[in-house]
Amino acid sequence: MKKLLFFTACCLAMALGSSAQIPALDRVEPMFWWVGMHNPNLQLIVHGNNIAARKVELNYPGVKLVAVHKVENPNYLFLDLRIFSGATPGTFPIKFIKAGEKPLTYSYALKARNHSADRIQGVTDKDLMYLIMPDRFANGDKNNDSFANMREQGIHRDSMFSRHGGDLQGIMNHLDYLKDLGVTAIWLTPAVENDEPAASYHGYAVTDHYKIDARYGTNELYKKFVDKCHSMGMKVVMDLVHNHAGTEGYTIQDMPMKSWVHQWPKYTRSNFKYEAVMDPHASAADRKQMLDGWFDRRMADMNQNNPYLQNFLTQNHIWWIEYAGVDGLRLDTYPYNDPAYMAKWAVDVKAEFPRMTIFGEVLTPLPFTQAYFTQGNTVNRGFDTHLPAVTDAAVKDAIYEALNGNDGWDSGVTHLYDILAQDFMYQDVTRNTIFLDNHDMSRVLSVVGEDVNKYKSAMAMLMTLRGVPQMYYGDEILMKNLSNPDGLVREDFPGGWDGDKKNKFTAEGRNEKENDAFNYVRKLANYRKNTPVLQTGKMIQYLPENGIYVYFRYDDKKTVMVVYNSTDKEQTTGTARYNERIKGVKSAKNVVTGENVDLDKLTLGAKSTLVLDLANSR
């Protein structure tokens, strides 16, 4: 009972706020906006001590103050503005007036949109995406390692749960390394402020939606990072968190209204069961706990049925896209969000940025569960999610079963065949992100028992199967570790810090095995980058036979054949069975070694894969 009273008291304290510590005009968000947006409506959130006691005035041609909303907490006002098509870029004052006091004034700017043709390109199956945790990749600016006004102090590289000092400048310093590797798109875990007392280096406990974390850099530096990537032919994916926010953020510490977050009589976690959202027989209680339960005590679960919160989140995301010019969006914990809001969000974002690509995090071994959340699947829902793609965890798990499992009717490599045979459930499966690992799971090298042949086969499949391939930083140099104990999969990239014993950004700093792995990945990644058939070509696969699995990527100009031996022994196989695609070609080029290979008989080592270019041998 004491715990119940304590939690309720905390919720009330956050809802009512501590107005004595809040400036009279703390902030206005979005801080500025643009003319010429598809949606002419804009809702400003205004926060300040008893700001609701003031009248609001503004006067600017083409801008109308439609409504002023007062809510439960007098420290907030929500202003509805309409920006007409005739409005021009410029600055105007928004005045907050109270009798007998000097008006508070905020100078609001309307800017011109950037319509450059090379902005917001979208991330597609033509790309290879590289996932980076900024805190763990490279420290390029020691001056931003720690700030006295932030809750977590110092860098402690000996602790996996503390800050290590990686930043945006560190990533920018190594863009040449990524370009050389064959990377064409960079996905950063969230770089916005996470000012929690501890262990928020991951970025998923946002405390300021409009500010890059000072330990990574500034908003301006983030924009320069995006611009530099674009200048080098690389795209940027922004990681967004709709479902929850860090409890130290101002909208949680001083909530506009109690319904800003999901409230429970006592702390209640999500049951983490996607099925409760999908199940036509699901109880209302299970569905509510799945969607409204908190992810963690330090991550307040946002109530996306609240229209003010909806506007706050959607406008924030549109603001970042227009401000920085990012090319794609990854949506964290997608199934935990309110389905109807997320569908509306996707429509609103695509209306402003038609070329924007979006994929949601859905972690399940079942294709039908993944497909349920993608656009075009309206069964048992009644509306379209408008979500183009998901993280294809079902293919990831199937690749590992093909590498580690014993071949059977529905196991081993046959399981991979079976999973890919279910691609019909997606409107366009080539939009899905295929991957082997990420910051939340065991690294590929460890999953395959540090067997280099298996590792290379996994990388070969990643680079040649349908979809948008995504790598995790350091996989190319054989970084390892399992997700349990937690944190070890988030080790620093060796060489990203002054004083590191080895600099594995360079060939000289890597050992023989690491260079072999790096060169293998680099060869395949750059081949993929320069070979359209591996990006947009069709795919045909053959039922595994004697543990050998074969598939082709092809178009009118080229055919690539991929052959995987899933057994623990060397095998020699004929290829007459595959003449439907080989079409009489007698030899092919081994993409990795450059050697010509006789197609009448193929010899494959245990757990090894051949990637063969048929067109170059004709």
Predicted confidence (pLDDT) per residue in 535-592, tens digit: 999 999 999 999 999 999 999 999 999 999 999 999 999 999 999 999 999 999 999 9
What pLDDT score was predicted for residue 116?
A: 84
**Strand stretches in 184-273, DSSP E:** 185-188, 192-193, 208-212, 235-240, 244-246
Tell me which residue of 136, 205, 191 sits closest to 443, measured CA to CA.
Answer: 136
- Mean pLDDT, rounded, of the chain: 95
pLDDT in the model for residue 118: 75
The pLDDT value given to residue 487: 83
pLDDT in tens, 151-195: 999 999 999 999 999 999 999 999 999 999 999 999 999 999 999
> Domains in the chain and their CATH numbers?
2-111 (2.60.40.10), 129-451+467-483 (3.20.20.80), 535-617 (2.60.40.1180)
Q: Rounded to whole angstroms, how far apart are CA atoms 563 and 554?
A: 15
Query: In this predicted model, what pLDDT tens digit does every residue of 568-580 receive, in sequence order?
Result: 999 999 999 999 9
Predicted TM-score (pTM) of the model is 0.95
All residues at 6 or more sequence positions from 14 whose CB lies less than 8 Å from its CB, including other chains: 252, 253, 254, 255
Q: How far is 75 from 18, CA to CA, in rounded Å?
A: 9
Tens-place pLDDT, residues 294-337: 999 999 999 999 999 999 999 999 999 999 999 999 999 999 99
Query: What confidence tens digit (pLDDT) does each residue in 13-39 have?
Result: 444 444 458 999 999 999 999 999 999
Kindly state the average pLDDT of the residues 240-245: 98
**Quick check: is 361 catalytic?**
yes
Q: With cut-offs at 50, 70 and 90, classify the pLDDT of residue 381.
A: confident
> Active-site residue among 152, 196, 292, 332?
332
Alpha carbons 163 and 196: distance in angstroms, whole number: 11
- What single-letter DSSP state applies at residue 102? P
Q: What is the pLDDT of residue 117?
A: 73
- Can you tell me the distance from the alpha carbon of 503 to that of 50, in angstroms, rounded to the nearest whole number? 54
In this predicted structure, what is the pLDDT of residue 10? Answer: 46
Q: Cα–Cα–Cα angle for 603, 466, 527, nearest 5°?
A: 60
pLDDT, position 13: 44
Q: What is the pLDDT of residue 616?
A: 52
Higher pLDDT, 618 or 249: 249
Which among 248, 361, 475, 613 is annotated as catalytic?
A: 361
Q: What's the pLDDT score for residue 2? A: 34
Task: Give the pLDDT confidence score for residue 16 in this predicted structure.
Answer: 43
| pLDDT score recorded for residue 219 | 98
What would the pLDDT profile of 394-426 be if each residue is shown by its tens digit?
A: 999 999 999 999 999 999 999 999 999 999 999
User: Is 332 marked active-site?
Assistant: yes
Own/partner pairs for 23-29, CB < 8 Å, 24+ apart? 23/48, 23/49, 24/48, 24/49, 24/50, 24/51, 24/104, 25/51, 25/96, 25/104, 25/106, 26/250, 27/250, 28/94, 28/106, 28/108, 29/209, 29/210, 29/312, 29/316
Instruction: Check whether 615 has a pLDDT greater than 90.
Output: no
Q: Which residue has the higher pLDDT, 82 or 2?
A: 82
- pLDDT band per the 50, 70, 90 thresholds, residue 262: very high
The closest alpha carbon to 493, from 140, 142, 128, 129, belongs to 140
Helix (H, G, I), strand (E, B) or coil at 57: strand
Over residues 83-96, the mean pLDDT reads 97
Tokens of 347: 């429509």
Residue 211 confidence (pLDDT) above 90: yes
